[in-house]
Structure 1
Amino acid sequence: MRLKHYAYLGLMVLFALPMAASRATADAPLALVATTGMIADAARQVGGEQVEVKALMGPGVDPHAYRQTRSDIVAMTRADLVLWHGLYLEAQMEEFFHDLERKRTVVPVAEGLPKDVLRGHDDYADKFDPHVWMTPALWKLVVTEVQEALTTARPEAAEIFAANAAAHIADLDRLIAYGGDVLARVPAQNRVLLSAHDAFGYFGRDYGFEVLGIQGISTQSEAGLNRIGELVDLLVERDIKAVFVESSVSDRSVRALIEGAAARGHEVAIGGELFSDAMGADGTYEGTYLGMLDHNMTTISRALGAADTPARGMDGKLSAGL
């Protein structure tokens, strides 16, 4: 009932507001709204000076549970282009987007990815794991979708968008090579990545890690006592020394695991905080897609025993104190 209530309120606000005419002109930036920070970063990288981007969800915000506010609705109804992720990531907002697309250009940039590269969803038989940004190899496909959406909205800037996208994809290729290098250094027996929820499946698939989440793919799933008990047994039996917290998910369940293992005489440390469903603080390197993944790759590599991983990451830009 609560979901229907929020959807009803959103629609009431949507249809109560006058729909502003598109303000995009050849000499004015496209007004663009993106749901997540990752999509907003892709739009800024590809769009450059041709776009003015507003991200709805900032650092530490969980997109699985996010519901549009009245100010969000105002921004989206006034935008020239709205980019959202799809794949049931913004589950609480889908009905709103389907109504908005009748009046505005609204593009789910991950929805069109080939199904054969996607992982199944553990809660919904007909849906897929949305966390495709966890591997830059898949994110390159999303960057291309963003490029196409911007080109459709402003075809006269197609060459600019193509050049910017190519430069950004070249950086993503460097990130792929860096991750492949430092993560390959993790000893085979340590290649277990356990965190608050199952956000790292694509990462594990690309880099050869067993990935375990206390919660499922969505943070809206519950972690029961049985699940905690099973994972405590696994920590002890396999002598796993480090687990990870996430910037956008409560660390309560992870700390319960650590306490459960301690009660069994097994010491487990927090290997670091990973960015899962949101990037770092605005204005920082970790607040960009490259910085987000650089941080995760570097943190995981160092915490799980890799030798000679650079403390400050791929280009020496990571914040000190990893």
Structure 2
Amino acid sequence: MTHASPPDSLWLGSAIRRIEADYQRSADTHLIPLPLPAFAAHGIDLYLKDESTHPTGSLKHRLARSLFLYALCNGWIDERTTVVEASSGSTAVSEAYFARLLGLPFIAVMPKSTSPEKIAQIAFYGGQCHFVDHAAEVYDEARTLAERAGGHYMDQFTYAERATDWRGNNNIAESMFQQMAHERHPVPAWIVVGAGTGGTSATIGRYVRYRCHDTQVCVADPEGSVFAAYHRTGDATLTAPGSRIEGIGRPRVEASFIPSLVDRMIEVPNTDSIAAMRALSALLGRKVGPSTGTNFIGMLALAGEIRAARRQGSILSLLCDAGERYLPSYHDAAWVANAFGDCSAAQQRVDALLAS
């Protein structure tokens, strides 16, 4: 990391006020109840918090805001700083937005496989994209570019879990519980999230303990990710091939993934994520992204367990981003067949769960 000299106090104050003003212009994201009679009849309610409605279209808008404020208040960014990030797409889109808001240059280091739609959005906000062949190469390349430019490597994978105020301050966990207050089961039995940095599971895990809720946190981990094996073994030196579900899962253990804050890991095959993405898109009448499909598999698995145990409760997860970003890829049947093979068996399993 290259640290800037302490920023000019007038510029710093102006930068923070611009970010806070942008925040005040944004309404909170919606909580969507899922119409699933097979579970509702047994007293089990499922909800999605729709993070696609942020200005930059994903859950990562919250993270980018927190990372910029954290870097500003630590004196790591001034009015001349080039901001560099290692990102597979959504975080880079959101950071490019905030960099433009502050008038700062921005470079995103990402795998060549990143969706063209996300690349175009980064460019729309004035950011540059720097490509590497493999996901594992983004870290060192981003660090090197930041040093070469005399800039700041934002490093979401290290700072995601500490940049957000987990006690409240309208973080995602506090918002979830406020919106659930008048539902049939206002304190969720489970909150299901994916893990890219691990920052969201850390924030929610800390918040539920701080507020003494009985809610448990589950991470739905896509095929090829290292997090489930790390949670099982505690071995931080483990590596994995890497996830093919864009935005979640990692090939290495990230500093922001805190396993003690996660009560349960559910490993999700790629074909199940795709099938659940399609089923949920049909259920909602709008397209969702593949990581939301991964989350939905986790929700259905837990709902099935609650029903089998003859218990009741609510399960809450995230609609991470809109499916329009993935029209030429995950929502294209030919692309999916080439990338993942036949998903028909997985589709039948998901459809059976929804209809049972």
Query: For this structure pair, what is the TM-score category when the shorter chain's length is used for normalisation?
Result: 0.3 to 0.5
TM-score under structure 2 normalisation?
A: 0.30
TM normalised by structure 1 equals 0.32
